Amino acid sequence: MSIEAVFIKGKRKYIFCSDEYGSRVLSSVFEHVKKEKLAYEWYHFSAEKREWLEEFLSKQKMGTFLYVVLPYSELYTVQMMAKRIGFSSDETQYIGYGEKWISIFCCRCHELNRAEEQQTELTCHQCRLKLEVSDHYSELHHAFLGYPATG
Amino acid sequence: MSIEPTLFVRITSIEKITKQVKKFTMSSETGKGLPKFSGGTHVSTYLKTRSGLIVRQYSLVSHPDDSTKYEIAVRLSEDSKGGSFYWHQEMKVGDRLQISSPRNHFYLSFKAKHHVFYAAGIGITPFLSMMQDLSAKGQTFELHYASKSEDSCAFHPYIKKHYPIQSHFYFSDQQQRLQITSLENHPIGTHVYFCGPEGFIEQFRIAAGKLGYPESSVHYERFLPTQNKAMKAFKVILQNGSELIVEEKQTLLEVLLANGTYIPYSCRVGRCGTCEIPVAEGKIEHFDDFLSEEQKNEQNCILACVSRGCSDKLVLKI
Amino acid sequence: MKWTGDLAHFPYPFKDSTYRYSNNSIPMKQPLSIEVTPSYKKEMLLKRKLLSDHPERCYQSLLHSMTGQWEIVELVIDHLVSKYPQDFSVKKENNSWIFTNKILDEKIEFIFGEKNSLPCEPLFFISQHVQEDLIYMRQRDDNLYLDAGQLCFPANWSLAFNIGMKFKSIHHPIPGFKEEGLDQRILQFLMRLEAGTPWERLNWSLMAGDRLDTSLETFDQWGRLRKQVTSENAGELVHIRVEVQKLFRLPRTNSILFSIHTHLLALEQLATNSEWVQQFYEILSELPAHIIEYKGISNYKKAVLEYLEKQLQQVKTL
Ligand code: HEM
Ligand SMILES: [Zn+2]
């Protein structure tokens, strides 16, 4: 996930999906698209209208590029939705902001534990094993692996 | 150089399906079934002719789950250098030959939400097994198939019967043309597949790129003739300044090891990639099955077990 | 229960006096995915107990792996029957199969390809008859994913966590793998793996204790022993753990079967071969810190080296 939106050239259409804060993050890419007179569409996101977004994204054709800037709390759902519809990682940029929580997969009991992004150690809330947070990531579980803490 | 695993087969029937295309059916000589395969698979066929061994690749057009037989369709090409000519003129029912195990370099995308096939002429062949796979899985697809005429359109009756809704034909003798603008209408998540003459593939590939299709959604297959290799001696220079000659019958790896220059290696047949060496200077002739086309073109590394220098000398970075 | 003592079947893993990560795969001489050793019965009992007591830890599969699972059933049964005809047999009538395991005195009837004809998933079923752990790597687009697996004897990793994971992500924890570009090279090698030409490689590690089931899930039970190694008890307590890993292209789903047969040998048994002791001593003394750390030997490397030195001295004084 990038921090800054990057303009990807050569697409027939650009879609910007964000809330108000996100539109500021996207402004430079948006200016670029306008300057080159490329086709674009804005989708102003709100959590209540998530089904509309699904319908909107499903109508798009090949050659479309999607930018999404949302709080982390919303981003993953939208990401999964876009993937289900058929937007691949080569056709999207996702940028999250705000408070970020990550999941830690307990190596002993497989329970997912919620942790802060910078956290390095925690105790599994289910089996009480002391875990060391690693950078080994599973896309399927959307979680990092917690190894047995040493020492 | 590659290991050529071979299956022993016998031709059990030959059917002329258009003026220029014959379909050959083969079954296993050993009585054991033939391996099942996946949509888009081809085999290499090895023809022992009077003028030498001819190796040609053909897509399997039989059903992927049918292990009793393999079918291929061969078009007699006007400028045939022997491959299709031999198949058409010499091959008889009962003839035996060797083929490779099934290989698939033109496989269906897993993540695609919709598949669209563009075929010109005999380029239809890999799509037949792909469409069988997709219909068995209940996935959606379309076929756009260009041919000179209905008569010369291989598998036309079969396709029309089995995929009446999905298939679209374009016969040039009826002024129907398959246009690249067709690419404009595919929904997000579509993967496109091209097979046909080089010019046809290029035209569609470029058009898809211009529309903004990511490369990962665009698939195509060319059948390249396998090159003959002429083994010549060549010289290499190591970083410590020593010069070594690799004789005609030697490999670079053998010479390095004999010289006490240890490099890691494993398979010795150009497949595992372990004995790769960076090259600073000189032209390399790649004989391996490991590096990608781009990596080969960069001309900056060599697999010592099979590949060779084709300029005076190679300057190695070891 | 002791798992060791099988010198005759021990696949000694070293060829040089240094060890680095590399693609050490070689083409198999005998293309078999399985091997039955004298500890077959004992290991099958253990494996079945683990599978029934801890199904989530030992078995994982994604929905779309079913065709691949059947391919594995076919391949493994083929290999069992052709290599060990006195112990295994199969009768096939169309899709009705009767598989007989004479070692365990079992007879299983099922309809090939029909999930409901077995009490469990096909991969789960066949894995109850072989000592190997069986991993199904599905080719999806340009990558390989761990889409199903039966894993009872892991070397400190979790199948439950790794399910659905890409090849490179699976290997993410290995130090230097990515930095040296090895993960990309090995993936490239695997993508070119062809039906009919299987490959194998050996992986080795050291462990304190003689458990086959060293899952990450149970680390707190077996990892403690690492702290109890001394130069006096190392010969008995420390074991060299070698995995024979085999790679088969599965042509129907264009995917890969990765089978792992784990062998354990106590250092005191390794020591019965003086060349082995010498070579292993050299390797271990020279092994880079990051590999020592990753393999979990840091705590007791010193004790093992002392033990090996003693063995070497004894040889010299003899
Ligand atoms: C395609 C099937 C394969 C699978 C499913 C697989 C899986 C794994 C797993 C789960 C680990 C442990 C990672 C961890 O610590 O969590 C591992 C380690 C490793 N793998 Fe693979 N692997 C495969 C093929 C290969 C191949 C072909 C090579 C070739 C060189 C290879 C080289 C290694 C090495 C060097 C390690 C580190 C082992 C050690 O130091 O003990 N793997 N693999
Ligand atoms: Zn836990």
Does residue C186 lie within any of the structural domains? yes
Closest ligand 1 atom number to CA of residue C155: 12
Q: What is the mean pLDDT of residues B122-138?
A: 97
| Residues A91, A41 within the same domain | yes
pLDDT of residue B289: 78
Computed over every residue of chain B, the mean pLDDT equals: 91
- Tell whether the model's pLDDT for residue B79 goes beyond 70: no
Computed over every residue of chain C, the mean pLDDT equals: 95
As beta bridge partners, residue B315 has B237, B281
B116: number of CA atoms within 13 Å, CB side?
20
- Tell whether the model's pLDDT for residue A1 goes beyond 80: no
Does residue C145 lie within any of the structural domains? yes
At C53, list the tokens.
């007591």
Does residue A39 lie within any of the structural domains? yes
Q: Whose CA is nearest to atom 38 of ligand 1?
A: C203
| Residues A136, A122 within the same domain | yes
The region that residue C199 occupies, defined by phi over 0 for left and psi between -120 and 50 for alpha, beta otherwise, is beta
pLDDT of residue C132: 98
Number of neighbouring beta carbons within 10 Å of residue C216: 21
Domain B7-99 grouped into CATH 3.40.50.10420: no
Which band of pLDDT confidence, cut at 50, 70 and 90, is reported for residue B287? confident
Does residue A3 lie within any of the structural domains? no
- Tell whether the model's pLDDT for residue B1 goes beyond 50: no
At B164-183, the pLDDT tens digits run 999 999 999 999 999 999 99
| Residues A56, A90 within the same domain | yes
At B226, list the tokens.
């396998």
- Determine how β-strand A40-44 pairs with β-strand B42-49: unpaired
Around ligand 1, the residues with Cβ closer than 6 Å are C 21, 23-25, 135, 137, 146, 157, 162, 170-171, 173-174, 186, 190, 201, 203, 205, 256, 258, 294-295
* Strand stretches in C162-210, DSSP E: 199-208
Closest CA to C151 of C187, C124, C121, C174: C124
Test B113 with A91 for CB contact under 8 angstroms: no
Question: CB-based contact (8 Å) between A113 and chain B?
Answer: no
In sequence order, the 6+-apart residues with CB closer than 8 A to the CB of B195 are: B106, B117, B118, B119, B120, B123, B124, B125, B126, B127, B201, B220, B221
Partner-chain residue, chosen from B111, B190, B215, that has the shortest CB–CB distance to A62: B190
pLDDT of residue B224: 53
Q: Is the C-alpha dihedral spanning B237, B238, B244, B247 positive or negative?
A: negative
Does residue C261 lie within any of the structural domains? yes
Does residue C278 lie within any of the structural domains? yes
In sequence order, the 6+-apart residues with CB closer than 8 A to the CB of C263 are: C6, C9, C10, C11, C241, C242, C243, C244
- Domains held by chain C: number: 1
Partner-chain residue, chosen from B3, B109, B110, that has the shortest CB–CB distance to C197: B3
Which band of pLDDT confidence, cut at 50, 70 and 90, is reported for residue B81? low
pLDDT of residue A125: 97
Partner-chain residue, chosen from A12, A85, A88, that has the shortest CB–CB distance to B211: A12
| Residues A136, A62 within the same domain | no
Token pair 């803490």 in the structure block, residue: A149
At C268-314, the pLDDT tens digits run 999 999 999 999 999 999 999 999 999 999 999 999 999 999 999 98
As beta bridge partners, residue A145 has A105
Report chain C (318 residues): mean pLDDT per 10 consecutive residues. 66 91 88 95 98 98 97 97 98 96 98 97 98 98 96 98 98 92 92 90 96 97 96 97 98 98 96 94 96 96 97 82
At B109-126, the pLDDT tens digits run 999 999 999 999 999 999
| Residues A24, A87 within the same domain | yes
| Residues A81, A143 within the same domain | no
Does residue A1 lie within any of the structural domains? no
| Residues A110, A69 within the same domain | no
Does residue C64 lie within any of the structural domains? yes
Within 8 A of C253 by CB-CB distance, chain B residues are 38
- Tell whether the model's pLDDT for residue B272 goes beyond 90: no
- Determine how β-strand A13-18 pairs with β-strand A40-44: parallel
Distance A109 CA to ligand 2 centre (A): 4
Which band of pLDDT confidence, cut at 50, 70 and 90, is reported for residue B227? very low
Integer angstrom CA distances of residue A18 from A44, A59, A84: 6, 18, 19
CA–CA–CA angle B119, B123, B127 (5° rounding): 70
Residue-range definition of the domain harbouring residue C204: 7-317
Note whether C61 and C148 are within 8 A (CB). Answer: yes
Number of neighbouring beta carbons within 10 Å of residue C133: 23
User: pTM for this structure?
Assistant: 0.92
Question: CB-based contact (8 Å) between A148 and chain B?
Answer: no
* CATH number of the B114-221 domain: 3.40.50.80
Chain B: closest CA distance from residue A139 (Å): 15
Q: What is the mean pLDDT of residues B4-21?
A: 91
Q: What is the mean pLDDT of residues B259-263?
A: 86
Residue-range definition of the domain harbouring residue A49: 13-97
Note whether C68 and C137 are within 8 A (CB). Answer: no
At B49, list the tokens.
């002719």
Domain B234-316 grouped into CATH 3.10.20.30: yes
The region that residue C100 occupies, defined by phi over 0 for left and psi between -120 and 50 for alpha, beta otherwise, is beta
Distance C134 CA to ligand 2 centre (A): 26
Which band of pLDDT confidence, cut at 50, 70 and 90, is reported for residue B223? low
| Residues A105, A120 within the same domain | yes
Does residue C134 lie within any of the structural domains? yes
Task: Return the exposure string of C226-245: e unless at least 16 CB atoms fall within 10 Å of the residue's CB, then b.
Answer: beebebeebbebbbbbbbbb
| Residues A37, A58 within the same domain | yes
- Tell whether the model's pLDDT for residue A108 goes beyond 60: yes
Within 8 A of A87 by CB-CB distance, chain B residues are 188-189
At B13-65, the pLDDT tens digits run 999 999 999 999 999 988 788 999 999 999 989 888 887 778 788 999 999 99
- Which of C136, C171, C184 to mutate to test ligand 1, by most ligand atoms within 8 A of the CB atom? C171
Distance A141 CA to ligand 2 centre (A): 15
Phi, psi of A109 (to 5 degrees): -115, 0
Task: Return the exposure string of B301-313: e unless at least 16 CB atoms fall within 10 Å of the residue's CB, then b.
Answer: bbbbbbbbbeeeb
- Domains held by chain A: number: 2
CA C184, CA A26: separation in Å to the nearest integer?
A: 33
Distance C60 CA to ligand 2 centre (A): 19
At A10-42, the pLDDT tens digits run 999 999 999 999 999 999 999 999 999 999 999
| Residues A115, A73 within the same domain | no
pLDDT of residue B4: 54
At A48-61, the pLDDT tens digits run 888 899 999 999 99
Q: What is the CATH number of the domain that holds A78?
A: 3.40.50.80
| Residue that wins the pLDDT comparison between A14 and B310 | A14
Closest CA to B193 of B44, B78, B17, B59: B59
B243-246 β-sheet, strand order: B243-246, B234-237, B313-316, B276-281, B301-303
Residue B242: DSSP 8-state: -
ipTM of the complex: 0.94
Which band of pLDDT confidence, cut at 50, 70 and 90, is reported for residue B184? very high
pLDDT of residue B229: 57
Q: Whose CA is nearest to atom 37 of ligand 1?
A: C174
